[in-house]
């Protein structure tokens, strides 16, 4: 356990006191001091660290042992007089101060700091270099699509991927005669999965034009292209793409919270459903409208589209007012956060080899900033993810004072 400083927050929480102590034994006093200051430790780990330092006074950071601790970059210097030999191309010393991109991304995601090296590392090109950006718009789009799919899986652009799509549809009981509208098609992975698994027909709609175009191209390369179409749309004009009384199921994932007229969108969705058709959705909601903590403010600032989140109660009231029968409205935050963390773990693993252009790293950090802020807001408890299903009811609203009204 010599790499305590590189463990993620989740991995650190699971670490036994015995492994923590073993890792501390291999660290310098300065490294231990930095670890203690920069990492959020549990009470058990804090007690174990205190006990360890009491039993090993040589590991405490003092003026004497700080001076006696060799700088990492000088650890393998054999002679002051001997010139430093150039390493073979791609060679990388473990103590030359260079920190790999994947380690930096993971530390950034976990909110940890990586200490700067004691002296500037010798200029060289490591195995995983960040190259100068000379890319075209087309190649930058390809890099963005590569990043998205490395996080969420091939053909997917949201946490949970195809598994989440089928989970949303499960209660609606779709079959081969079902016509579905997916308002959050992304790269079309879910759309194609519904078509191939359930033999249903899906009309996918995606607000990001680049994603929609790429998704349609992917669908055209399959055997069910005619049952899994994707096109771009303006979510502020849903009535332009959703025909009345056409669909058996409408899906929406994390979309309506970005629309200033959510009630208007829900009304159009309701009109597009056939009698007893299902609206299945996930969306970001506020736990409490009266207060907003720092994480909520940072989440609002990080989003590329301004969010207008409701509370769960407001969602329920609007659905009922529009003649929906609310079958379920559940808090799915924990599963969502877990899916986000798993996605970024996969991304970090993919960074352990290869060379990356400056535009690739920039695109990665742009994508990461949105999901990091969203994840922290969800973990704070102030932002929640609701998973709901509502069935459209038809006919005029029954009046308590009018026994002749028809429902």
Domain layout of the chain by residue ranges: 1-69, 139-392
Cα 301 → chain centroid: 16
339: Cβ–Cβ under 8 A, 6 or more apart, which residues?
A: 159, 160, 164
Angle between helices 358-380 and 333-350 (to 10 degrees): 160
Query: How many residues appear in the chain?
Result: 407
Q: What pLDDT shows up at residue 77?
A: 38
249: Cβ–Cβ under 8 A, 6 or more apart, which residues?
A: 169, 172, 174, 178, 179, 180, 181, 273, 277, 278, 279, 280
Q: Which pLDDT tens digits describe the chain residue by residue (407 residues)?
A: 446 766 777 777 788 888 888 888 888 887 787 777 767 788 788 888 888 887 787 888 765 554 444 433 333 333 444 444 444 433 443 433 445 777 777 777 777 655 544 444 544 444 455 555 556 888 889 999 999 999 999 999 999 988 888 888 888 888 889 999 999 999 999 999 999 999 999 999 999 999 999 999 999 999 989 999 999 999 999 999 999 999 999 999 999 999 999 999 999 999 999 999 999 999 999 999 888 889 999 999 999 899 999 999 999 999 999 999 999 999 999 999 999 999 999 999 998 877 888 889 999 999 999 999 999 999 999 999 999 999 998 654 444 444 443 33
Kindly report the number of other CB atoms within 10 A of residue 370's CB atom: 13
Question: Backbone dihedral region of 160: left (phi > 0), alpha (psi from -120 to 50 degrees) or beta?
Answer: left
Q: CA-CA distance, 297 to 64, in Å (whole number)?
A: 45
Q: CA-CA distance, 122 to 96, in Å (whole number)?
A: 8
Q: 137-171 burial string, b = 16+ CB within 10 Å, else e?
A: eeebbebbbebbbbbbbebbbbbbbbebbbebbee
Q: What pLDDT shows up at residue 28?
A: 81
**139-392 domain in CATH 3.30.365.10?**
no
DSSP 8-state class, residue 311:
B
CB–CB of 178/158 below 8 Å? Answer: no
| Residue 407 tokens, joined | 């429902």
| Residue 304 tokens, joined | 């590329």
pTM: 0.70
What CA dihedral angle connects 188, 193, 198 and 203, to 10 degrees?
0
For tokens 């970005």, the residue is 258
């Amino acid at each position: 356990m010599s790499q305590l400083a590189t463990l993620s927050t989740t991995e650190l929480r699971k670490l036994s006191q015995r492994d923590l102590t073993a890792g501390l034994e291999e660290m310098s006093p300065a490294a231990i001091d930095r670890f203690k200051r920069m990492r959020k430790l549990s009470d058990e780990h804090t007690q174990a660290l205190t006990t360890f330092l009491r039993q090993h006074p040589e590991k405490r950071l003092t003026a004497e042992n700080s001076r006696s601790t060799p700088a990492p970059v000088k650890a393998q210097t054999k002679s002051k007089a001997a010139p430093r030999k150039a390493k073979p191309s791609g060679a990388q010393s473990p103590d030359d101060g260079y920190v790999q991109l994947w380690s930096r991304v993971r530390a950034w995601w976990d909110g940890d700091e990586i200490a700067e090296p004691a002296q500037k590392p010798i200029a060289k090109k490591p195995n995983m270099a960040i190259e100068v950006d000379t890319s075209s718009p087309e190649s930058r789009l390809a890099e963005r699509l590569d990043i998205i799919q490395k996080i969420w899986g091939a053909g997917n652009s949201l946490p949970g991927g195809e598994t989440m799509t089928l989970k949303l549809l499960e209660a609606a009981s779709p079959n081969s005669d079902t016509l579905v509208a997916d308002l959050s098609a992304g790269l079309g992975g879910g759309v194609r999965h519904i078509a191939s698994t359930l033999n249903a027909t899906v009309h996918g709609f995606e607000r990001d034009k680049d994603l929609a175009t790429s998704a349609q191209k992917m669908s055209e390369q399959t055997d069910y292209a005619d049952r899994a179409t994707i096109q771009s749309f303006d979510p502020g004009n849903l009535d332009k793409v959703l025909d009345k009384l056409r669909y058996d199921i409408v899906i929406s994932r994390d979309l309506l919270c970005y629309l200033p007229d959510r009630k208007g969108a829900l009304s159009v969705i309701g009109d597009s459903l056939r009698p007893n058709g299902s609206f299945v959705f996930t969306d970001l909601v506020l736990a409490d409208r009266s207060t907003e903590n720092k994480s909520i403010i940072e989440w609002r600032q990080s989003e590329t589209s301004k969010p207008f989140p409701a509370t769960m109660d407001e969602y329920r009231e609007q659905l009922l007012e529009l003649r929906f029968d609310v079958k379920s409205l559940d808090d799915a935050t924990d599963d969502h956060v877990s899916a986000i963390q798993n996605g970024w773990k996969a991304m970090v693993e993919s960074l352990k080899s290869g060379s990356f252009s400056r535009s690739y790293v920039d695109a990665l950090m742009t994508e990461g900033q949105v999901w990091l802020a969203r994840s922290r807001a969800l973990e704070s408890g102030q932002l929640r993810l609701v998973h709901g299903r509502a069935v459209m009811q038809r006919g005029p609203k029954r009046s308590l004072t009018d026994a002749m009204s028809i429902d």
